[in-house]
Structure 1
Amino acid sequence: METLSRLSEEVGAVLLSKKKVLVTAESCTGGGIATAITDIAGSSAWFDRAFVTYSNEAKMEMLGVSSETLSAFGAVSEPVVKEMVQGSLHHSNGTVAVAVSGIAGPSGGSVEKPVGTVCFAWMDLSGWLKIETCHFNGERAEVRRKAIHHALKELQKHFIDEQGSE
């Protein structure tokens, strides 16, 4: 697995070349995606802000996630990350966003959503939307690191694939 620093640099380069501005909405990663990004000098040219919405109240207040969605599906769900990613674009100057919510452990898991379950959503203002749920093995720090890496890797992959289709 490449380093987060190298991956962040590569994501930044492609976002800069496409004149895109990233915003993050993070729960289980606790701002880790934003940290990886802002560790890169010059990232202010392609990164706007991060919403660290660990509690359900923060998801509702800062991102507009509905209480009905949270009640029906739980915070770790594809419907919730979809609302998180939409809200992050609505409440920022971003043009592309990633949202993540998961169960990093060691507790908090269930049969339906075991520890290591992480939901992601990526979206941009041109209409691209990708939502998926992954399961990562490992201790809390490793689950979080894998989630951060995956969030950035999928951004990179999307823009590389997009370049290839132009």
Structure 2
Amino acid sequence: MNVADLLDRAKAQGVMIATAESCTGGMVAAALTDIPGSSAVVDRGFVTYTNAAKQQMLGVRADTLDAHGAVSEEVAQEMADGALRNSGAQLTVSITGIAGPGGSEFKPEGRVCFGLAVEGQRTVTETVEFGALGRDKVRLAARDHALDLLSRGLLEPAQN
């Protein structure tokens, strides 16, 4: 996946992009903005590491966090939707996960939940189990997966 190609396709389609990141701490936004000219398509990035930040910046509901925990597809969906609602973007990706070290029996290290929101489409979510690769590798894998999701969002809009 070539980030420059992703940005070129977004520009050609007149699509602005925003990110909503937790465990990656802005790595997706950084990968996008490392490319010269990215300001034509990158609107903003939300780094919402705490639950309070997810609620304040993206409108994630407290009852969703209480019921499912921060690392869940439900929260990933609300993060992606909140980024769409609170930006000038038409395409957003969200990431929330457990990079490690640690985790639990129910939410192991390497579990990352993603959301992809495309204006006018139903938001899609997925969970990827990267495994206990170590913090750095999980974060890099999550960044790359999110960039792939953005690319897919441009090529094949989410299904209604």
The answer to whether TM tops 0.5 is: yes
Distance 1:54 1:158 in 2: 24
Distance 1:83 1:132 in 2: 13
- Structure 1 stretches of at least 4 aligned residues deviating more than 2 Å after TM superposition: 157-162
Match of 2:27 in 1: 32
Match of 1:112 in 2: 106
Match of 2:15 in 1: 20
CA contact (8 A) 2:10 2:16 kept: yes
Q: Does 1:140 align with 2:98?
A: no
Distance 2:45 2:92 in 1: 10
Q: TM-score, normalised by structure 1?
A: 0.90
CA contact (8 A) 2:91 2:153 kept: no
Between 113-122 and 10-19, report the one with greater CA deviation: 10-19
Match 1:63 to one of 44, 58, 65: 58
Deviations 1:44-86 (A, max 9, x none): 0000000000000000010000100000000000110111111
The alignment covers a number of residue pairs equal to 156
Alpha-carbon spacing, 1:90–1:73, altered in 2? closer, same or farther (3 Å): same
For the aligned residue pairs, the C-alpha RMSD in angstroms reads 1.1
Distance 2:54 2:156 in 1: 31
Q: TM-score, normalised by structure 2?
A: 0.94
Distance 1:131 1:64 in 2: 17
Distance 1:94 1:35 in 2: 17
Letter of the 2:124 counterpart: K
Secondary structure of 1:50 counterpart: strand
Q: CA deviation at 1:155?
A: 1.8
Between 92-101 and 148-157, report the one with greater CA deviation: 148-157
Q: CA deviation at 1:128?
A: 4.3
CA contact (8 A) 2:116 2:153 kept: no
Match of 2:124 in 1: 130
Q: CA deviation at 1:134?
A: 0.2
Secondary structure of 1:98 counterpart: strand
Distance 1:102 1:71 in 2: 16
Letter of the 1:142 counterpart: K
Distance 1:153 1:120 in 2: 11
Match of 1:77 in 2: 72
Letter of the 1:157 counterpart: R
Unaligned runs of 5+ in 2: none
Secondary structure of 2:65 counterpart: helix
Q: CA deviation at 1:161?
A: 3.7
